[in-house]
Every structure is written in structure tokens, then in C-alpha cells.
């Protein structure tokens, strides 16, 4: 089982890149946690934390698909080197301003916006580069491992932020994040390009964004997948707002937020690794993970103690990671090689680009309805989407029960 789970790490490029990505993303989560705590300390309102995420992820909503079109046309490795460098500089500048006592609310918002623009460009480039690390048959595995690294780093980042923000302050945590970008830049710069499996560049001109949208709309499985994922991504994954408010109001200490996020992330890593170890990832797995996500989210929202919340956060994180990994794996296997950057970008827009909508709404719910409902309303949404999406998929997707199809060089599970 272990050999299947980690089969993408056979190549030196993949091993070095994922180690660097893990270190860098620990720093990213240190900054994200510290930024949320800094804004909450400045205003005491979850709505303002939501607006911080609005500033950070609005560029993903506005630019994400076009960034994917750009990534399909250029060298993804070189594009990722530029974007990762910009994000590192942004973190250091914000850290210096915070240490100097100049981090007013508008400064944090502006910094989040700069980070968002760089992140919107980085997402399809970096994730597209991950796909190029392996043969097509291993694409679901390498994407699941990528999700495991991204979510696994959330185990350590929030916990480190919770421990260090008191003695060091938010500013030095931002600087630490800036330094960690060197860890991912090094394997990008020194990669052995002869071992990569680059996708053919998309033709210049034409209508690349509309082509990708038409491709998804005409593929009934992808249409259902993206519709459900967009709704769930908008309302069910705003943990940076909902768990922070729960930590303060229900459990009595906002700094417990870092530990809540860390424990949830342990579950996320386990869910990602479990998905990576599967030889088949189909729609049935996607919808089943949504059900677990919804039920466990409701349970965490009304957990009787912080220790119960920690325990229930494990299935919450595992199911969330499984949903994301399944979405990435299914969509990439059904995409032509020269469109993978755009499809990855569409997935990022569905998940991260909808944050400018979901985070302020979640913040408003937290401040005016209740901390518990800021998590629970998204969980209920996930359950409804799982039920409706499953019915629509069964009715509209033509399939042959128990049969496999080969799509762009890889085996995909066509069962529901």
C-alpha cells in the first residue's frame, strides 16, 4: 500500500520539489494564521477577517482562468519561479512593516491583495508543474500527494504560529514565511529538466478561456463535478473565519484557532494519503467524501469541548482533502494535456476564487447569527450538494457499469 501511495516520489525531481513545497507551505500557514489573528486583534470582528480573505482571493476569482491559459502557453517551471519569488518578497515586506508598527488594517488588506495576484498566477503554474513530474498514469497519485503536502503543512504552520505569535509577534512570523520560499525555489531552479514530462504548449491566439469553459460544459461528468465543487468551495471551507470565531466564542480563547486548524490538517493529510493510495478515484468517492465533510462539520460546530472538537476535526479535515484530491484527479484525467493548466485554474477558481464571496458571508454569519452556524451552514450546503449532485450525475452521465475508460493515457473510474 505504501509503495502505491508514494509511487510518484520515485523521481528525484518530485522528491526534492515536495520537500521544498512542504517547508514553504508551513511558512505560508504560519503567515495565514498570524494574519487572521492580527486582524482579529485589531478589530475583534470575524467579518474583517473575512474581508482579508476577500482581498487575498479576489484576484483568483478575476484572474485565475486567464492565469491558467498563460500557464498552458509558457514554461510552467519558470513561471512558478517568478511567482514564488514575488510571494516571498511580499511576506518579508509585510513583516518589516508589522515590526515597525505600521501594519494598519488597510496595509494588511493591500498586502493580501498583492499576495492574491501572485497566488492567482502561481496556482496553475505550480500545480501544472507537479503534473509534469510524472507519467500520465500517475497524475491522480501526484496530485493527491500534492494535496497531502499542502494540507500536511497546515498541521505544523498554525501550531507554530499559535506557539510563537505571543513571544515573537506577527511581524517576525511573516518574515519567517518569506525565508521559507527559498526551500521551494531551490528545487525549481535546479530541477533536471530531462526527467520532466512537459505538456505541449497550447496554441497562441484563439479563445483559450472560452475553450476550457466549453470543454467542461460539454463533459457531463465534469459539469456536475465543477458545479458541486464551486458551491461547496464557496461556503464549506472557510475555516480561517469559522474556526477562529469558534475558538473565541465557544471555547474561550482565539489562540486555540491555530491548534484547531492544525488538528483538522492532520485529518487532511490522512485523507490525502488515503486518496493517493487508491487506484481508482471516481464520482462515488467524491460524493461520499462530501457526506462525511458535511456531517463532521456539523459535529465540530456543536462540539461540547475543545478536546471533542479536536477529535471531530480529524474526519472533517480528511473528508475535505479527499474532496479536493478527487476533484483534481478526475478533472485532470479527463482533460487533454494542452488544457490541463486551464482546468487546474478552473478548479482553483471554484475552490479558492470563491473565497471572496464565502468568507465575508461566513464572517457575517459568525458575528450576527452565531459562531456555530458559521461552520454548520457550509456543512449543510455540502450535504445538500452531495445529494443533488449524485442524483443529477446518475441521471445525466452515460456510463457502462463496472467498465473502465482510458482518457488521455490514464485509467479513470467511470462508475458513479
DSSP states of 133-192: TS-GGGHHHHHHHHHHHHHHHHHHHHHHHHHHHHHH-HHHHHHHHHHHHHHHHHHHHT--
Give the C-alpha distances (Å, rounded to integers) separating 45 from 50, 257, 306. 9, 15, 21
- The CATH T-level fold of domain 2-192+206-413 is Growth Hormone; Chain: A; (1.20.1250)
| Residue 6 vs residue 294, higher pLDDT | 294
The three cell numbers of residue 314 are 480529524
The pLDDT of residue 84: 95
The pLDDT of residue 2: 53
The residue-averaged pLDDT of 355-365 equals 86
Residue whose C-alpha is closest to residue 264's, from 161, 156, 146, 370: 156
Give the C-alpha distances (Å, rounded to integers) separating 255 from 87, 104, 294, 346. 26, 21, 25, 34
Residue whose C-alpha is closest to residue 272's, from 289, 297, 288: 289
39: pLDDT strictly greater than 80 = yes
How far is 108 from 34, CA to CA, in rounded Å?
Answer: 11
205 φ, ψ (degrees, to nearest 5)? 80, -170
The three cell numbers of residue 61 are 476569482
**Band of the pLDDT at 397, cuts 50, 70, 90?**
low
Find the helix or strand (DSSP H, E) in which 412 lies.
strand 410-413
Contact 266, 314 (CB under 8 A): yes
183: pLDDT strictly greater than 90 = yes
How far is 410 from 408, CA to CA, in rounded Å?
Answer: 6
The residue-averaged pLDDT of 112-130 equals 90
**Window from 74-88, 241-255, 297-311, 398-412 with minimum mean pLDDT:** 398-412
Percent of the chain with pLDDT over 90: 39
What single-letter DSSP state applies at residue 198? P
The residue-averaged pLDDT of 260-270 equals 86
Number of H helices, E strands in the chain: 16, 2
| Residue 240 vs residue 365, higher pLDDT | 365
Contact 134, 141 (CB under 8 A): yes
The three cell numbers of residue 70 are 498563460
355: pLDDT strictly greater than 80 = no
How far is 53 from 112, CA to CA, in rounded Å?
Answer: 7
The pLDDT of residue 124: 85
**Band of the pLDDT at 203, cuts 50, 70, 90?**
low
The three cell numbers of residue 52 are 482579508
Separation of CA 384 from chain center:
22
**Band of the pLDDT at 204, cuts 50, 70, 90?**
low
The pLDDT of residue 122: 92
| Residue 326 vs residue 404, higher pLDDT | 326
Contact 90, 180 (CB under 8 A): no
Domain assignments of the chain as residue spans, ordered by start:
2-192+206-413
**Band of the pLDDT at 416, cuts 50, 70, 90?**
very low
The pLDDT of residue 66: 81
For 239, counting Cβ atoms within 10 Å of its Cβ (0-12 exposed, 13-18 middle, 19+ buried), the class is buried
What single-letter DSSP state applies at residue 349? I
The three cell numbers of residue 143 are 496530485
Rounded (5°) CA angle 9-262-105:
115
The three cell numbers of residue 387 are 445529494
33: pLDDT strictly greater than 60 = yes
Per DSSP, the three-state class of 413 is strand
The three cell numbers of residue 76 are 510552467
Helix %, strand %, coil % of the chain (to 5): 80, 0, 15
**Band of the pLDDT at 137, cuts 50, 70, 90?**
confident
The pLDDT of residue 308: 96
pTM (predicted TM-score): 0.69
How far is 257 from 100, CA to CA, in rounded Å?
Answer: 26
How far is 6 from 296, CA to CA, in rounded Å?
Answer: 28
Amino acid at each position: 500500500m505504501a509503495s502505491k501511495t508514494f509511487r510518484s516520489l520515485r523521481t528525484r525531481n518530485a522528491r526534492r520539489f515536495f520537500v521544498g513545497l512542504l517547508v514553504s507551505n508551513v511558512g505560508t500557514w504560519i503567515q495565514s494564521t498570524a494574519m487572521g489573528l492580527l486582524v482579529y486583534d485589531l478589530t475583534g470582528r470575524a467579518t474583517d477577517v473575512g474581508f482579508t480573505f476577500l482581498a487575498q482571493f479576489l484576484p483568483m476569482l478575476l484572474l485565475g482562468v486567464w492565469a491558467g491559459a498563460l500557464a498552458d502557453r509558457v514554461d510552467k517551471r519558470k513561471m512558478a519561479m517568478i511567482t514564488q519569488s514575488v510571494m516571498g518578497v511580499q511576506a518579508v515586506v509585510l513583516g518589516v512593516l508589522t515590526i515597525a508598527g505600521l501594519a494598519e488594517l488597510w496595509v494588511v488588506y493591500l498586502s493580501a491583495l498583492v499576495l492574491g495576484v501572485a497566488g492567482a498566477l502561481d496556482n496553475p503554474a505550480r500545480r501544472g508543474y507537479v503534473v509534469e513530474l510524472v507519467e500520465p498514469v500517475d497524475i491522480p497519485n501526484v496530485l493527491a500527494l500534492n494535496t497531502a503536502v499542502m494540507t500536511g503543512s497546515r498541521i505544523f504552520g498554525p501550531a507554530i504560529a499559535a506557539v510563537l505569535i505571543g513571544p515573537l509577534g506577527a511581524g517576525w512570523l511573516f518574515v519567517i514565511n518569506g525565508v521559507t520560499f527559498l526551500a521551494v525555489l531551490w528545487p525549481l531552479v535546479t530541477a533536471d529538466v530531462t526527467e520532466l514530462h512537459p505538456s505541449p504548449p497550447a496554441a497562441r491566439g484563439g479563445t483559450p478561456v472560452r475553450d476550457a469553459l466549453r470543454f467542461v460544459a460539454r463533459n457531463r461528468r465534469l459539469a456536475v463535478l465543477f458545479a458541486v465543487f464551486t458551491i461547496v468551495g464557496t461556503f464549506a471551507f472557510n475555516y480561517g473565519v469559522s474556526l477562529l470565531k469558534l475558538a473565541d466564542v465557544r471555547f474561550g480563547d482565539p489562540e486555540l484557532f491555530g491548534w484547531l486548524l492544525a488538528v483538522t490538517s492532520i485529518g487532511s493529510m490522512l485523507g490525502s494519503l488515503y486518496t493517493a493510495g487508491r487506484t481508482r478515484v471516481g464520482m462515488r468517492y467524491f460524493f461520499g467524501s462530501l457526506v462525511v465533510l458535511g456531517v463532521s462539520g456539523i459535529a465540530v460546530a456543536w462540539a461540547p469541548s475543545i478536546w471533542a472538537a479536536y477529535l471531530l476535526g480529524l474526519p472533517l479535515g480528511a473528508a475535505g482533502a479527499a474532496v479536493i484530491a478527487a476533484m483534481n484527479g478526475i478533472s485532470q484525467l479527463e482533460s487533454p494535456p494542452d488544457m490541463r493548466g486551464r482546468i487546474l485554474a478552473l478548479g482553483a477558481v471554484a475552490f479558492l476564487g470563491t473565497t471572496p464571496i464565502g468568507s465575508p458571508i461566513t464572517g457575517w454569519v459568525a458575528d450576527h447569527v452565531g459562531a456555530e452556524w458559521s461552520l454548520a451552514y457550509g456543512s449543510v450546503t455540502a450535504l445538500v450538494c452531495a445529494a443533488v449532485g449524485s442524483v443529477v450525475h446518475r441521471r445525466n452521465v452515460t456510463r457502462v457499469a463496472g467498465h473502465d475508460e482510458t482518457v488521455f493515457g490514464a485509467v479513470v473510474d467511470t462508475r458513479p
